[in-house]
Structure 1
Amino acid sequence: MTAPLAAALLPLALLAPAASPVSVVEADFDPATAFVPPAAISYASDLVPYGAHVRIVTDRSVPGRTVLTLKASGLAPGHEFPAHLHTGRCGADPASSGPHYQDEVDPVQPSTDPAYANERNELRLALRTDGRGRGSATTVVGWQPRPGEARSLVLHAGTPAGPHAAGDRVACVRLDG
């Protein structure tokens, strides 16, 4: 390559790559007290053992739509984990992940109004594990999260009230790097 051509191409090489419409987060669950802040935190090692694995693929390639796929292995077998996008980052305190992310934010928090707290306004999944602790779930919503506002995906302990009823926060996965 000639020097003038290389000099002309250098500015192109320095450009940041365009944000991909598909993001992948893959991590093993660790305790919140790990020396290096983990990408995936377990708050209940009986349901989400340390070393259990999670993979989250978020596809925003179609304007006005988000497809999220959650795959996990090593979790408690035969269990249902309601999962939701949350606004806060994962931390040592399970509450640090904040409230559920909502496309249209309920002005009254915590949000309990069914006009806001529903499957059209929140990204919800129900991850069911098989006898070996593996499971996957996919959901599609007709909107895309606002940049920087959906910071984590939280797995809740299931409750007998139904597939999307959230119990205690048992794990958190950091989505914003």
Structure 2
Amino acid sequence: MVAGICAGAVAAAVLASGAGGAGAGAPDGFRMRTDAQFAPVAALMPSAAVTYDSRLVPPAAWIQVSQHTAVSGATTVKLRVDGMVPGHAYSVHVHQKPCGADPAAAGGHFQHEPSTDPAAATADNEVWLDFTADGHGAAEASAHHTWGFRQGEASSVVIHDMPGSRTRAACFTVPFGWAP
């Protein structure tokens, strides 16, 4: 999957949506797909996908994220990766802000019902895309919710070391859409 993709290249396709986001004049809602290769923060050719720990997310590993938000607001987010550490378990969440040089730049998890209560950090209230890479370092994950994102409140996907870990191994800035 990685072959033929330029380092740092991001391809986004917004299909069946108007300028206003999900459902703006489109019968099928909002669709988006974007992909990139991971690069270190200080890479000569910057990427929308940055690795903070190259032992867990090697440079040139590949990520693709897609979103479909129906006119009803129901949202499905899908993740595909390749070039990860074979057999390693990762925890993945949608975060509030874009990636930055500092792993904390992406802010906290996007929550449908924002809360400071740790008990609100659930797969029902957040977008969780956890996976274990196969023997070749590839994996897929998806999450479906009856709700969608709020404008400007979902901007990246953060890959954590393993389920339950707070260590941010990598981050991918994603142009998520929202329901009006």
Q: Is this a same-fold pair by TM over 0.5?
A: yes
2:7 equivalent in structure 1: none
Gaps of 5+ in 1: 1-16, 159-163
Tell me the secondary structure at the aligned position of residue 129 of structure 2: strand
| AA at the equivalent of 2:63 | V
Q: Does 1:172 align with 2:171?
A: yes
Structure number with larger C-alpha Rg: 1
**Quick check: 1:121 aligned with 2:125?**
yes
Matched, 1:90 2:81: no
**Higher strand share goes to which structure?**
1
Q: CA deviation at 1:62?
A: 4.5
Aligned residues: 151
Post-superposition CA distance 1:2-43 (Å, at most 9, x none): xxxxxxxxxxxxxxx724611111100001112454210011
Aligned partner of 1:70 in structure 2 is 79
1:27 aligns to 2:33 (yes or no): no
Between the aligned residues of both structures, percent identity stands at 35
- Give the TM-score, by structure 2 length: 0.78
In structure 2, runs of 5+ residues without a counterpart are 1-16, 23-29
1:64 Cα deviation from its structure 2 partner? 2.3
For 2:175 and 2:169, the matched residues in 1 are separated by 19
Secondary structure at the residue paired with 1:153? strand
Q: For residue 34 of structure 2, what is the amino acid of its counterpart?
A: V
Counterpart of 2:109 (choices 79, 100, 114) is: 100
- Pairwise CA distance, 1:90: 0.3
C-alpha contact 1:148 1:176 (8 A) present in aligned 2:
no
How far, CA to CA, are the matches of 1:75 and 1:85 in structure 2? 19
CA distance in 2, matches of 1:46, 1:62: 41
- Mapped to 1, the partners of 2:44 and 2:70 lie a distance apart of 36
